[in-house]
Amino acid sequence: MNTLVADARKPGRLLIRRHSVAVRVTHWINVICLAVLLLSGLQIFNAHPSLHWGQSGFEPDRAVLDITAVAVGDTLRGVTRVGGLAVPTTGVLGASAGSDGALEERAFPSWLTIPSYRDLASGRRWHFFFAWGLVLNGAAYLLHGLVSGHLRRGLLPSADQLTPRHLLREVADHARLHFPRGDEARRYNALQKLAYLSVILILLPGMVATGLTMSPGVDAAWPWLLDLFGGRQSARTLHFVTASLLILFVAVHVAMVVASGAWNNLRSMITGRYAIHSEDSSS
């Protein structure tokens, strides 16, 4: 049950204890790990900027995604191909400014990769180190959630929250930027719970599993992983897709945090306290 504390500075407002120390610490470690994994992952992707399905990754005409540059006269033009669709992306994808200001062939620009210069080995070291950090941090979060009951009480939707009528109402409320107040603001709504559970139980495990499948050493020990994902190149494509979906989740998450009260939400993830108005809630 949330702890209520009256805010003497603002009568009528209550501060509730919304996030435990463990949840807050693991949240910020996740932020750091995911940021470094994204930027170092783009460095790794730059070494072979194509995605394929199956075992072979050396058939450009059969690529699911291909980011390249083509020479046009004395300059380069960036081109991103998704299936049969080709989109000019000069300056961002395929061809971007190098250290001397001139365009160079590079899938993702230097300001989006760790390290900024071309170095696959360093990118791999950054990526693997923070990947294990994410796994260990995630294990700590799950253990705490199971022991404390946080996963059951805080993230499992109730039966009434999963009715089509309730879900449609929440979608409409979010579309109009109408957010819960009072008692309803003390807990996550159904859309939040479903989104967080999808990340925790599907996207993150899927990203880790497909990442492991790309390792020859892991494949030697667990060859069934290649069969599970349909080949190493398929696993690489799925790894890219799950990472992209995580980026989408983060973008929507940040947008909702800002729209529903940036400082109140940020404070709850730093100090654990979240403000609600007592006139809209029952104590």
Q: What is the pLDDT of residues 259-277, one digit of tens each?
A: 888 898 899 999 988 888 7
Average pLDDT over residues 116-131: 95
DSSP code at position 74: T
Q: How far apart are CA 88 and CA 229, in angstroms?
A: 31
Share of the chain residues as helix, strand and coil, in percent rounded to the nearest 5: 60, 15, 25
pTM reported for the whole predicted model: 0.86
Percent of the chain clearing pLDDT 90 (strictly above): 54
Nearest CA to 112 out of 48, 36, 51 is that of 36
In this predicted model, which residue has the larger pLDDT, 207 or 60? 207
CA angle 150, 153, 158 (to 5 degrees): 145
- Tell whether the model's pLDDT for residue 120 goes beyond 50: yes
Ramachandran bin of 232, using left for φ above 0, alpha for ψ from -120 to 50, beta for the remaining angles? alpha
- Which tokens go with 46? 């730059």
* Structure confidence at residue 6 (pLDDT): 46
Q: Give me the pLDDT at residue 280, please.
A: 45
Task: Tell me what the pLDDT averaged over the chain comes to.
Answer: 87
SS3 172: helix
Tell me which residue of 214, 204, 197 sits closest to 242, measured CA to CA: 204
Radius of gyration of the chain from Cα atoms? 23
Strands (E) across the chain are located at 4-6, 13-17, 50-51, 65-72, 75-82, 85-88, 94-97, 103-106, 273-277
The pLDDT tens digits for 63-85 are 899 999 998 888 899 999 998 89
- Res. 57 pLDDT band, cuts 50 70 90: low
Tokens standing for 226? 């290649």
Whole-number Cα distances in Å, 279 to 12, 13, 15, 27, 183? 6, 8, 13, 31, 10
Q: What is the pLDDT of residue 155?
A: 86
Q: What pLDDT shows up at residue 59?
A: 66
Rounded Cα gap, residues 32 and 38, in angstroms:
10
Element of type H or E holding 225: helix 224-229
- Tell me what pLDDT residue 198 has: 93
What is residue 282's predicted lDDT score, i.e. its pLDDT? 43
Structural domains in the chain, sorted by start = 4-48+119-280 (1.20.950.20), 50-107 (no CATH)
